[in-house]
Amino acid sequence: MTADIVVLGAGIVGVCVALHLQKRGQSTILLDRRGAAEETSFGNAGLIQREGVVPYGFPHDFGALLRYGLNRTIDAHYHLTALPEIAPFLWKYWSHSRKERHAEIARLYSRLIEHCVTEHDALAAEAGAQALIRREGWIRAFRTEARRDESFAEAERWKREFGVLYRPLDARALQELEPHLAPVLSGGLHWVEPTTVSDPNALALAYLRRFESLGGKFVQGNAATLEESGKGWRLRTAEGPVEAGAAVIALGPWADVVTRMLGYDLPLAVKRGYHMHYRAAGVAKLNRPVLDSEKGYALAPMARGIRLTTGAEFALRDAIRTPVQLGRAEPIARNLFPLAERIDTDPWMGARPCTPDMMPIIGPAPRHRNLWFAFGHAHHGLTLGPVTGRMIAEMVAGETPFVDPAPYRADRF
């Protein structure tokens, strides 16, 4: 098989890259070792986070560091045996999270985030997938007035600086929006601009079908077989060898498998996360995702049921699964919302691909012609998939990207 370009990785980012390339007349092959969106893109809280202008930083206050160091929380967990290997990444992550540096990163990051809803809406309309996207926003809920008021003040700063919109909720207003939550909360922050997805896997598959309807081809194969061939690239697939003039690495947490093979030493790590689905008890209904911010888990209404998602687990990508955060979160979540039995047989786990400066890597490979990078989106792979896809396609096609890609280039490291 031959193509103008091959995209490695069929998560939400890779699917969006391939779709945007095919739309611009580039004959495109999309490759993955499994089916599309069956890894990290399968499980998340389903948020398209227009409000997510400030990426999740590493805490700097002593109290938070002590709390996380005890390794008993829901929002963060770590494997002690992994620390020697991931310590250099954590040190860089901590350094980039200093107040002044974090603010600088947010200004750059917001340029991507501001387009996330409109770019998803455009692809969903093309793919006939509008029914999967909801427009009720999501709620960050608080148990204490101090935490609530602190977050209200932060949201007001973000509104002034980045233009994000929110609605402050006292306890009564929150109860009116989500009447089946237990009356134990002091209020909430209703982010009104983000959209949410009832089935992230189904949305990615809808985009894939649109890609295929335009003539694109999805194949299964091993991205690690990628090698230079003349003026382009070659790799092996289940349907035979593929020859392409250009390649895009969109492998998420597995990007380093190929980039290291090609001689790149990029500072990549993963934050693993877990989810479990539950039936809502009786007539209970959750209208939109709710983050129990002081406990560190989220509940999201999904097509399959109520999805309970955990925070970050710092571990090696391929280490044994340890869903202890789910075990810690479940009894607390049951006291907040009437969850019935578990629907899934086992907890799901995914690995979020992260960089220490909290920004994705989007753009040309520094030392190879006709090779492009599109990975490292951390918590915002679903949010930024269409934005990244359009940027890469515009660069490949020689167009001026609608977002300046300079801050996200690999050579910043």
Three-point CA angle 375, 256, 325, nearest 5°:
75
* Residues 272-278, mean pLDDT to the nearest whole number: 97
Q: What is the pLDDT of residue 231?
A: 83
Q: What is the pLDDT of residue 199?
A: 97
Q: Which residues contact 159 (CB under 8 A, 6 or more apart)?
A: 165, 166
**Pairwise CA distance, residues 7 & 342, whole Å:** 36
Kindly report, residue by residue over 403-413, the tens digit of the pLDDT. 999 999 999 99
- Above 90 in pLDDT, residue 194? yes
**Pairwise CA distance, residues 374 & 255, whole Å:** 9
- DSSP for 234-275 reads EEEETTEEEEEEEEEE--GGGHHHHHHHTT-----EEEEEEE
> How confident is residue 96, by pLDDT bands cut at 50, 70 and 90?
very high
Cβ count within 10 A of residue 125: 11
Kindly report, residue by residue over 23-75, the tens digit of the pLDDT. 999 999 999 999 999 999 998 999 999 999 999 999 988 888 888 899 999 99
Kindly report, residue by residue over 206-244, the tens digit of the pLDDT. 999 999 999 999 999 999 999 999 889 999 998 999 999
Mean per-residue pLDDT of the chain: 97
* Residues 148-163, mean pLDDT to the nearest whole number: 97
**Pairwise CA distance, residues 83 & 269, whole Å:** 12
